Structure 1
Amino acid sequence: MMKGFKSAFFQSYLMNALFSSLFFFILLQVYLLTAENPAFSIKTSLILSVFVMLLLMVSSIYFGTRNLFILNGKLAKISGYIRSLRNGKFPDKLKVEHTEETARIITEVNLLGEYVQEQIELLQKMSNEKLVLSEQVHTAAVIEERQRIARDLHDAVSQQLFALSMMSATAIKLFDDSPEAAREQLIQMASISVKAQGEMRALLMHLRPVELQKDSLCDGIIKLLRELKSKTNHHFQVSIDEVFGLTKAAEEHLFRIVQEAVSNIIRHAEAGKIKVELSEEEGYVHLFISDDGKGFDPEDKKMVSYGIRSMKERSKEIGGVIQIRSIYHEGTYIDIKVPVKGGKDDQNSFSSCG
């Protein structure tokens, strides 16, 4: 493209020389035809026209070559300046001479360099601000999680340990005078210690959770439930189908909801059975989690934990609808439906998923 521009530039000088020679020749012929006593003949006019044409051609070649060489230098500077910008360097501004043909281009290129430099400085500033904000958010999340775990430890485990301490002291006093009463105390202590152990395991699962990583949602839930089953005395009733059409973010949110819900059941529900079902039907992914525990009042703000709020927020973020129902002494169930696009009719069973 640049070669074509240079060729057109050079040709313009030659064309000007030819047209000027032709114009000079025409003027001579008009003079010969209109003058009564012309100073020279037609033959002389032809020789003069050829001489003028050669003179103009030589002049055009000289000045065309000279100006083309100067233009090449200016274009090379502009090209080098733009190349430096592309490589992330900021050279000094190009010198602008108001008499030169490329002055406007050089001015625009200098302005472009300033704009690029400002944009890079802005991006660096935004990157620093993003890093600071990310660190602040991370710090706030860590503090909030520590406070939540501290509340959980205080509300459950520490109270159970305190009860064990008091009951063990009472059992020691009753051991000689009333062995039967001491035995009852020890039975209660064993029950409390099992609950405390379950609480600690659930909290440790929060601190060191199973990750979904590259697993499908189905496989991730199976791994999570198998690990929980190996560490607790709860009976799990599981039916997990392979689901399709969910984004990776939606899978991650549903996985965390299962993790949070089952953890809450283990720690608070005093349940014996836990049911988890995952299926896809009529354009929805359906997640159902239930237990046969002591239940609670979902409308009581004091009873609604951080985990329940987190499940509702996660469900809302992926366009899902969540229902939480609970009856005292009968249990609780969580029902979530998430719309999906596409999918498959032939869903794999729990056994093939696991």
Structure 2
Amino acid sequence: MITVKFPTFVLKRFHRLQWKLTISYLITCVIVLCLLELLVALIGVGVTLSQDRGTLEHHAQLLARIAGPTFPATRVAHQQQLQAAWELLQESNPAFQGYIATVDAQGRVIVAAGNHAPVPGYDLRSALPASVQQDTRGLLSSHASPSSPQSALLRTSFEQGREYVVAPLLEGTTTQGILVVSGHYVRFSWENVLTFLLFFGVSAVIFFLGAGVVGLAFGAVTARGLVRRLQQIAAAVEGWSLGDFSTFVSDPSRDEVGQLAHRLNHMAQQLQQLLRMRQDLATVEERNRLARDLHDSVKQQIFAVSLHVSTTKALMRHDERAAQAHLLKAEVLVRQTQRELMTLIRELRPVDLEDRSLAQALQDYTHSWQEQTGIPVELKVDGDIATSLEVENAFFRIAQEGLANVARHSQASLVKLHLTCATVVTLAINDNGCGFDVHNREQRGVGLSSIRERVQALGGHLDIQSSKGQGTTIIVWCPQTEKDAS
């Protein structure tokens, strides 16, 4: 079995906003025009029905004038006269349905013609409405002549949706019988319904073609301008997503799209100001951290060196051995100060990770940190999935902060690092130092706050486990998307 697939690129074009708006305009125009056509047709039917009574009365009176008022010589001639009059009316108006009949003075049918005409001998007068029976009795008791105006010989009434016309049949001046005409219109026969549906269907096709052209033209013109304005907004938003807030949406109109563009421009300005403030705060925070580190380590060590040098100067003339001992201690402090300065400089200088992986950078850094601090470091790496430069830089900085905290506060004799590079990048830093109370906010330094901020910026998670005398474990993990890993 051969299956034919419809080209997907054709369907994708109709997913665009311009085509959706155009098709919606087209459908709206077609529906509105079809409803207007149906409304006009219903109004026409209503007007026709409202005029039916007058037309029905006219046709019934016309039939009575053709068939009477004189009494024919024979019954056969009279039957032929009624049949001819009925056929003449049917040719001009086939919707007129009913009968024409001649009844005698007792109300029995003599002859009749038409649709469902009563049979001869039928007591028709008793089957007529009361008002019509009264008209027949009045005509039978009255006297008229053939020369009287026909309007004076006819009695007309409308009962139960049917028109009744009665007229006297004269023989000389004597009324020998009554001519009864009963009629109504049959508007909703199957033939009429089919005719109406055919008319509506043909006109609907014509309206559809006309509305299709109008809807497509109107939709294409209207949607094109709207789509162009939305494309400008999308281009500006894409630039903002890349960090470029210098691009603004140029849309001076005051409609909803223009208001949206104005609010987005205002948002971009606020984001630009917020980024400047964040950069300033980060700079201030980094300066404060550097000042604290210099105060806690380098300044104290330099002050100790100055004390040893002063003591050496005072002892050189009296006790040369003691002076040399103080000089050796000052030399050791100078070397420690030099290592501290190298560590701070390394932390301030951006690490180049373009040519090295995170694992290689951590291996080099832990080796150097071990030599400077004298604390052994065990590094374990699992997984070989590539990570983005942003994740690598953040995790490298987190490792620096963690090891710096170990060197300053933990009094540890061993540090273990475990890095896992998979769909979720995980870094665990564990030391066997003195530990601290995690729930005590006063013991949370700037280093841990910096780690927490870096993790939050990546959308990752941070877990700190520590207690006094039991060491500290810091676990950081961050899920990376396919875009990050590519």
Report the TM range for the smaller structure's normalisation.
Answer: 0.5 to 0.7
Q: Secondary structure at the match of 1:177?
A: coil
Match of 1:323 among 465, 473, 477: 465
Matched, 1:305 2:445: yes
Name the CA distance, whole Å, in 1 between partners of 2:287 and 2:419. Answer: 35
Match of 2:344 among 181, 186, 203: 203
Name the CA distance, whole Å, in 2 between partners of 1:169 and 1:122. Answer: 67
CA contact (8 A) 2:305 2:334 kept: yes
CA contact (8 A) 2:379 2:417 kept: yes
Q: For residues 173-219 of structure 1, give each alpha carbon's deviation from its aligned partner in whole angstroms, at most 9, with x where no partner exists.
A: 32343221111111111221122122222222332253767976544
Q: Percent identity?
A: 22
Q: Secondary structure at the match of 2:289?
A: helix
Name the CA distance, whole Å, in 2 between partners of 1:138 and 1:151. Answer: 20
Structure 1 position 334, deviation (Å) = 2.0
| Residue type at the aligned position of 1:323 | Q
CA contact (8 A) 2:436 2:466 kept: no
Match of 1:240 among 370, 375, 380: 380
- Aligned residue in 1 for 2:473: 335
Q: How does 1:17-166 map to 2 (within 5 A)?
A: 72=214, 76=217, 79-88=220-229, 114-166=255-307
- Aligned residue in 2 for 1:189: 330
CA contact (8 A) 1:212 1:255 kept: no
Structure 1 unaligned segments of length 5 or more: list them: 46-60, 90-111, 342-354
Q: For residues 249-301 of structure 1, give each alpha carbon's deviation from its aligned partner in whole angstroms, at most 9, with x where no partner exists.
A: 98776544422121223345566x54223177xx9967242266xx4754776
Assess, with a 3 A threshold, how the Cα gap between structure 1 residues 335 and 245 changes in structure 2: closer, same or farther.
farther
Q: Secondary structure at the match of 1:87?
A: helix
Q: Which of the two has higher C-alpha Rg?
A: 2
Q: Secondary structure at the match of 2:376?
A: strand
Structure 1 position 229, deviation (Å) = 4.5
Structure 1 position 319, deviation (Å) = 4.3
Q: TM-score, normalised by structure 2?
A: 0.44
| Residue type at the aligned position of 2:428 | L
Name the CA distance, whole Å, in 1 between partners of 2:431 and 2:323. Answer: 37
Structure 1 position 142, deviation (Å) = 1.4
CA contact (8 A) 1:322 1:336 kept: yes
Q: Which moved more, 1:199-208 or 1:184-193?
A: 199-208
- Aligned residue in 1 for 2:418: 278
| Residue type at the aligned position of 1:333 | G
Q: Which moved more, 1:137-146 or 1:200-209?
A: 200-209
Name the CA distance, whole Å, in 1 between partners of 2:427 and 2:375. Answer: 22
Q: For residues 146-175 of structure 1, give each alpha carbon's deviation from its aligned partner in whole angstroms, at most 9, with x where no partner exists.
A: 122112212221221122123223323323
| Residue type at the aligned position of 2:379 | S
Assess, with a 3 A threshold, how the Cα gap between structure 1 residues 155 and 288 changes in structure 2: closer, same or farther.
closer
Structure 1 position 324, deviation (Å) = 2.3
Assess, with a 3 A threshold, how the Cα gap between structure 1 residues 3 and 310 changes in structure 2: closer, same or farther.
closer
Name the CA distance, whole Å, in 2 between partners of 1:279 and 1:288. Answer: 9
Matched, 1:180 2:321: yes
Matched, 1:260 2:406: no
CA contact (8 A) 1:160 1:193 kept: yes
CA contact (8 A) 2:26 2:219 kept: no
Q: Secondary structure at the match of 2:293?
A: helix
What root-mean-square deviation, in Å, do the aligned CA atoms of Structure 1 and Structure 2 show?
A: 5.5
